[in-house]
Structure 1
């Protein structure tokens, strides 16, 4: 009889091209957070769930909400690795 194995953590989800483009826009200072909404160049992001997904993943800092969107250290690191 074999010993049970510990469950493994799920692999991190890869970022899409859209995710990376928005992270680059945040890094360039083109984005803002208005409540739960991510604005890009003053317009609502067409993907209404993208901002929540990136902030939930810890890539965009929510401390300045409402205000300019900023990358977290993890977001900068991930974007720099691309």
Structure 2
């Protein structure tokens, strides 16, 4: 996480590495109705606070899963749209 939020974020050559922080940031984009991202230490602290409360964490994860499932369904050409 220190590298991800560090000031010297010079990207190495080649394909970007898929790290936990990149994956988490991509997952946060799937939360419907919220514009949550993982771009600073403040965002990471907010997620840690949510993780400390079991009920909030379950709700948080359920929202991410629901948003990701909807995104997959909308990208699937075989799914039926109402």
TM-score interval for Structure 1 and Structure 2 normalised by the shorter chain:
under 0.3
Looking at secondary structure, tell me which structure has more strand per residue: 1
TM-score, with structure 2 as normaliser: 0.25
TM-score, with structure 1 as normaliser: 0.25
